[in-house]
Amino acid sequence: MKYPIRNSVIILGIVLIGIGIYSSWQMEKRLPSVDYTTFLAQLTSDEIRTVEIMGGEIRATDKYGQNFQTFAPDIKLLLPKLEERNVTIRARPEAKSFGFFESTLPLLLVIGAWMYWSRKNKQTEPAMKGKDSLVPKDVAGKVTFADVAGIDEAKEELMETVDFLRDSERFTRLGGRIPKGVLLQGPPGTGKTLLAKAIAGEAGVPFFSISGSDFVEMYVGVGASRVRHLFEEAKKQSPCIIFLDEIDAVGRSRGASGMSQGGGDEREQTLNALLVEMDGFQSDETVIIVAATNRPDVLDPALLRPGRFDRQVTILPPDVKGRAMILAVHARNIKMAKDVTMDMVAMTTPGFTGAELANLMNEAALMAARKDKEQVDLADIEEAKDKILMGVERKGMVIRDEEKKVTAYHEAGHAIIATLLPDADPVHKITIIPRGRAMGVTQQVPLDDRHSYSQEYLRDRIKILLGGRTAEQIVFNRFTTGASNDLQVATEIATRMVCEWGMSPVLGPRAYVAGDQGFLGGGRPRPLAYSEATGQLIDSEINKIIEDCLQESMIILQGKDDFLHNLARHLLEKETINGAEVEKIMKASP
């Protein structure tokens, strides 16, 4: 070779450029991606908070704070939809390197393939990206159990873990083995991360944190090596905690894997590395792994075997007492008006998670500050809650009088049925101010936290849902599109009554779908096998429930047309009416 040095410099240069582009390309791709249809569905159900648009690529953040990306076939068509849903839109010019990237694509593919194979074959440890996230965050003394409220059972169970970390010798003295893994399972925002940090804080030990989604969609081999590196670091600092967020991203069982494009292979390697590390602790190393997931149903059983994540703690959204306590934690630094009690706020926030309650307090404080108030009062909290539950008021929206009138009758229809049915949750508030996607809203708030529902309650819910449309029919003798969401929910309830809860006398106590929708909600029920004849029967039973409820809602509203007209009139005048006022109007209507 004539110019060996120059040649190798050129090759090195090409490789470096290749690595640079390859890695930035990979970095771009690291967000989990969903298909456009899924994204649209989430958008329609108001789950999307912000989007960032680059060319056709969209990065979105949903209301749970999860980030993902998708690709839109036509941004121009999407934009009006985003605006309609009040999504915060950020746009960036298309990445400049794209043209360059495209022109060098063949070369990159060659380099990429070469890197892929050399890594695979030589098992070299690739450069660590974001190594700094492995450096323990010093949380000791910052987050403690005092910051975690309303989930006392989980706290109690984890007190034990704190003891292990504080004084492991006391427990291993007689030959016992300290549990290695704790799995925290529960919906997003219930405080799993907070709890893990609090364990570290209470025990005064380092806290290493990494998320399962960091592992996937990475360079081949990086996931596994990152796991090894993480455990190596952690062992040096024993006793300590490793927090593995979203463990389902790596720990999905093979059967349940929804991964495509061979990503599953990489994930499996990562999972294996994790299992090997968990099994390989020395007895003098106290490293406790706390993992979090909202999909325990998809986890690989190997993870749950004794000696691995054999402690499992379930965290559910708090009940009314728990909510009051969580609210109190987040109201610590807020100047609150004297007449506001956290019990009051807790009563009207059923189903809120800790994260949503924290958000509520913060929004209320901002709301009051915007109005230059000295204190946060109930009105601010109510307004913040409406904003979180129903989206921002669309004050600028022009509504025709006719449309407003239809909405007033529609909401009055819901509210009257809810007021008159004995088992229904009381009406908290009705509004015909459009928010988000809804033209109006009737809010009911249950008196207590329910965990199971009777057949009567469910039927009443369907009647209430159909009440809006029925009122429209009685008064205007025609329908608008405003009832589509009501119909969807009503149909879903009726379907579940028949297929999941055995509430059809004809079909009997048999399940026609399987799969956990439970508190996780992430799983989709899949139909079990049944004959075509049974399928027709299911259809007709669902129809029957809806038809019966429709009839009843019609009878109720037809018998109360004074109430209906009065309530609609008040709504048109005031736009928002609370539960007590509804009662008053009812008493005033013969």
553, 415 contact by CB (below 8 A): no
Selection from 88, 78, 101 nearest residue 27 by Cα: 101
Question: Which pair of tokens denotes residue 340?
Answer: 């506001």
Residue 323 touching ligand ADP (CB under 6 A):
no
67, 60 contact by CB (below 8 A): yes
Partner from ligand ADP, Zn ion, none contacting 494, C-beta within 5 to 8 A by type: none
Of the pair 190, 431, the CB lying nearest ligand ADP is at: 190
Of the pair 192, 405, the CB lying nearest ligand ADP is at: 192
Partner from ligand ADP, Zn ion, none contacting 182, C-beta within 5 to 8 A by type: none
b (16+ CB within 10 A) / e for 514-531: eeeeebbebeebeeeeee
Of the pair 216, 292, the CB lying nearest ligand ADP is at: 292
Type of residue numbered 406 = V
State whether residue 70 is helix, strand or coil: strand
Residue 326 touching ligand ADP (CB under 6 A):
yes
Could you tell me the smallest distance in angstroms from the CB atom of residue 238 to ligand ADP? 24
Question: Which pair of tokens denotes residue 337?
Answer: 């008006």
Could you tell me the smallest distance in angstroms from the CB atom of residue 473 to ligand ADP? 43
Of positions 51, 82, 87, 151, contacts ligand ADP by CB under 6 A: 151
Residue entry with tokens 């908070």: 49
Selection from 318, 409, 397, 314 nearest residue 355 by Cα: 318
Could you tell me the smallest distance in angstroms from the CB atom of residue 464 to Zn ion? 9
How far is the first Cα of the chain from the last one, in angstroms, to the nearest whole number?
A: 104
**Binding-site string for ligand ADP from residue 273 to residue 292, where x marks contact by CB under 6 A and - marks none:** -------------------x
Of the pair 190, 225, the CB lying nearest ligand ADP is at: 190
Q: How many residues sit close enough to ligand ADP to count as binding (CB under 6 A)?
A: 17
C-alpha neighbours within 13 Å on the C-beta side of residue 328: 14
Residue 149 touching ligand ADP (CB under 6 A):
yes
Q: How far apart are CA 435 and CA 268, in angstroms?
A: 45
Residue 417 touching ligand ADP (CB under 6 A):
no
Long-range contacts of 176-179 (CB under 8 A, 24+ apart): 177/283, 177/307, 178/286, 178/288, 179/288, 179/310, 179/311
In DSSP terms, 289 is beta-bridged to 181, 242
Of positions 18, 239, 354, 440, contacts ligand ADP by CB under 6 A: 354
Partner from ligand ADP, Zn ion, none contacting 468, C-beta within 5 to 8 A by type: Zn ion
**Binding-site string for ligand ADP from residue 95 to residue 134, where x marks contact by CB under 6 A and - marks none:** ----------------------------------------
Q: HEC string of 370-387?
A: HCCCCCECHHHHHHHHHH
Could you tell me the smallest distance in angstroms from the CB atom of residue 334 to ligand ADP? 13
Of the pair 157, 285, the CB lying nearest ligand ADP is at: 157
- Inter-CA distances, 301 with 242, 521, 522, Å: 20, 20, 19
Site for Zn ion in 483-522 (CB under 5 A): 486
Of the pair 189, 467, the CB lying nearest ligand ADP is at: 189
Beta strands in 358-467 (DSSP E): 427-431, 441-444
Partner from ligand ADP, Zn ion, none contacting 329, C-beta within 5 to 8 A by type: ligand ADP
Q: Tell me the window of 351-359, 368-376, 409-417, 439-447 that interacts with ligand ADP (CB under 6 A).
A: 351-359
- Inter-CA distances, 343 with 290, 328, 331, 388, 425, Å: 32, 9, 12, 19, 18
The answer to whether residue 411 is catalytic is yes
Of positions 201, 354, 468, 579, contacts Zn ion by CB under 5 A: 468
Active-site annotation holder among 411, 472, 541, 552: 411
In DSSP terms, 210 is beta-bridged to 244
Strands 526-527 and 576-578: unpaired
Site for ligand ADP in 186-215 (CB under 6 A): 188-194
Q: Which residue is nearest to ligand ADP (CB)?
A: 354
Of positions 150, 221, 296, 413, contacts ligand ADP by CB under 6 A: 150
Could you tell me the smallest distance in angstroms from the CB atom of residue 410 to Zn ion? 6
List the catalytic residues.
Answer: 411
Residues that bind ligand ADP (CB under 6 A): 148-151, 188-194, 292, 326, 329, 354-355, 358
| Residues contributing to the site for Zn ion (CB under 5 A) | 468, 486
